[in-house]
Amino acid sequence: MTESAALWDLLSQTAEPSAAEGLKTAVASAPDRSLNRINPLVFAATHGLGEEATIGALVHAARLGLFDMSWNVLCPGCGGVLETAGALKTINRHEYFCSLCAEGHEPTLDNLIEVTFTVNPRIRRIGAHDPDSLSHAEYMRQIFWGSGADLPEDIESAVGRVTLDQMELGPGERASMSLVLPKGFIIAFDPVTHASVFLDVSGDETQERRTLSLIFAESHAHSGTVTLAPGPVRITFENKAARRTLPALWVHGKELNELSVNRQPFLTATRLLSNQVFRDLYRSGTFDPEQRFKITSLTILFTDLRGSTALYDRVGDLAAFDLVRSHFGELIAAVSAEGGAVVKTIGDAVMATFPTPDRALRSAMRMREAMRKINAERGSEDLALNIGLHEGPCLAVMLDDRQDYFGQTVNIAARVQGLAEPAAVLATKPIVESPETARLLHETGYRTTSRHLSLRGVSEAFQIYEIRENDRAAA
């Protein structure tokens, strides 16, 4: 058996078999570009697979060396990749600059950092492993734009419609293009070095031939705006970078905007960090202790086993230990089933994170049902679970060599759980007002009751919702 065959066999044993088989088939027969920066959500939809199963399979495949995982900083304006890294810890700047949009952006984990997967060259070599072999249009599709860009199939024609002219320059080369500039806003842009100059072509047309020199080097440089009258011009490009560049003149307009703004869902860093498979396989070293990453919105769930001390006294240490261990197993399964991840356990309590509020609430429902089943099997009510949910901004940090979360959102989620009782799940307004949560509550027949409660460490009274099963749901 070859090394790759052994790795595929191992993947089928560790990941969801259908997802593992889908990846193996794609590597065997899919076109090159389909195996570069794979968007797990799009791959799952295209191949009729579950999103969580696909994410889990790709994480396992990356751990085995079948695929390479990359963390890409995105520009929210054009959807371009501003930097790509093999590990989150190397994304260490407070701001990343997009020269195509001439704007800087702070890398937030849930909006501007995507995670993609590319087949390892030892398994199959593809064009993207040698980017200098790609055409201008394919370079834009496979290297410049992120996996969230919803690009047309015929990328050559689409890019051709928005470029006046383009060229390829080797290291140290210099060349010129002569053309007649039309009125409008033109962007001289090289996607390799991410260098740009804006050309404001306005005023009365001239017949005078002008000259313009542009230099591209190894930097994300924007050289400002040059105002020119429409008419003939000779533009000289010089490549001072150590690799091939692809300078082109882009026409800023409707068609370029359509290429840049059409988006599809992608795997965010926040979602991957809230994936149980990823947390199990990459327990430490995700980023450095000194790093702090902002998350604009994260759903946090806290649980606590009510009366656990009395439980040990009532049923004895051995029986109580088995019960508590069984309870942890069910909670972890409920979290994983809804695409969440357990961040940590604190005594008999659990902290978990989810990409969306409705997934957290579904997990809470699973937890309640699991506790009911365990109690029914024992003929007792020994396991009583308090559950609290909250959503909001926070920081992703490293604490005690473990990826964790910090901030008032975490504090509030813990405080809400502290007020909960086993008869109801407590959730804050952002959880209940999520459209997906509202739909879930309607489908499951749960009812909500709002109260204003004081939370320790929060200055104003907080609106809390009790989420209970009504008679129809309980039946």
Q: How far apart are CA 405 and CA 392, in angstroms?
A: 12
| More confident: 36 or 287 | 36
pLDDT confidence of residue 265: 96
pLDDT confidence of residue 472: 44
| SS3 at position 61 | helix
Give the residues across from 345 on adjacent strands. 350
pLDDT confidence of residue 474: 47
Q: How far apart are CA 39 and CA 59, in angstroms?
A: 12
Q: Is the pLDDT of residue 341 over 50?
A: yes
| More confident: 265 or 318 | 265
| More confident: 290 or 408 | 408
Quick one: average pLDDT of 297-315? 80
* 41-89 tens-digit pLDDT: 999 999 999 999 999 999 999 999 999 999 999 999 999 999 999 999 9
The answer to whether the beta carbons of residues 431 and 470 sit under 8 Å apart is no
If you write DSSP's letter for every residue of 165-187 in order, what string do you get? EE--B-TT-EEEEEEEEPSEEEE
Under the banding of pLDDT at 50, 70 and 90, the label for residue 315 is low
**Residue position matching structure tokens 């991410």:** 194
Quick one: average pLDDT of 234-246? 95
**CB atoms near residue 38 (< 10 Å):** 23
pLDDT confidence of residue 237: 95
Using a 10 angstrom Cβ sphere, with 0-12 exposed, 13-18 middle and 19 or more buried, the burial of residue 456 is exposed
pLDDT confidence of residue 322: 72
**CB atoms near residue 12 (< 10 Å):** 18
If you write DSSP's letter for every residue of 71-95 in order, what string do you get? EEEE-TTT-BEEEEESSGGG---S-
pLDDT confidence of residue 469: 85
pLDDT confidence of residue 459: 66
Q: What is the CATH number of domain 285-474?
A: 3.30.70.1230
What six digits make up the tokens of 35?
């195996």
H or E element: which one contains 439? Answer: helix 435-444
Q: 208-222, 297-311, 359-373: which has the minimum mean pLDDT?
A: 297-311
For the chain, the 3-state helix, strand and coil shares in percent, each to the nearest 5, are 35, 35, 30
The answer to whether the beta carbons of residues 273 and 286 sit under 8 Å apart is yes
| SS3 at position 166 | strand
Amino acid, res. 100: L
* 248-258 tens-digit pLDDT: 999 999 999 98
Q: How far apart are CA 132 and CA 68, in angstroms?
A: 19
What six digits make up the tokens of 104?
């800087």
The share of the chain scoring above pLDDT 70, in percent, equals 96
Q: Where are the domains of the chain?
A: 3-147, 159-261, 285-474
Q: Is the pLDDT of residue 465 over 50?
A: yes
The share of the chain scoring above pLDDT 90, in percent, equals 76
* Angle ∠(424,429,435) on CA atoms, nearest 5: 95
The answer to whether the beta carbons of residues 86 and 70 sit under 8 Å apart is yes
The answer to whether the beta carbons of residues 281 and 94 sit under 8 Å apart is no
pLDDT confidence of residue 296: 95
Nearest to 302 by CA among 366, 386, 383, 358: 386
* 135-161 tens-digit pLDDT: 999 999 999 999 999 999 999 999 999
* Cβ contacts of 140 within 8 Å, gap of 6 or more: 155, 159, 191
* Angle ∠(89,20,53) on CA atoms, nearest 5: 65
| Tally of CA atoms within 13 A in the half-sphere of 407 that contains its CB | 20
* 87-96 tens-digit pLDDT: 999 998 999 9
**Residue position matching structure tokens 């019960």:** 323
Using a 10 angstrom Cβ sphere, with 0-12 exposed, 13-18 middle and 19 or more buried, the burial of residue 430 is middle
pLDDT confidence of residue 336: 93
The answer to whether the beta carbons of residues 236 and 175 sit under 8 Å apart is yes
Under the banding of pLDDT at 50, 70 and 90, the label for residue 313 is low
Q: How far apart are CA 87 and CA 39, in angstroms?
A: 17
* Cβ contacts of 174 within 8 Å, gap of 6 or more: 236, 237, 238, 239
pLDDT confidence of residue 1: 55
Quick one: average pLDDT of 210-226? 90
Under the banding of pLDDT at 50, 70 and 90, the label for residue 310 is low
* Cβ contacts of 423 within 8 Å, gap of 6 or more: 468
The full length of the chain comes to 475
Nearest to 116 by CA among 156, 81, 89, 151: 81
| This prediction's pTM | 0.90
**CB atoms near residue 62 (< 10 Å):** 20
Structure letter (DSSP) for residue 141: I
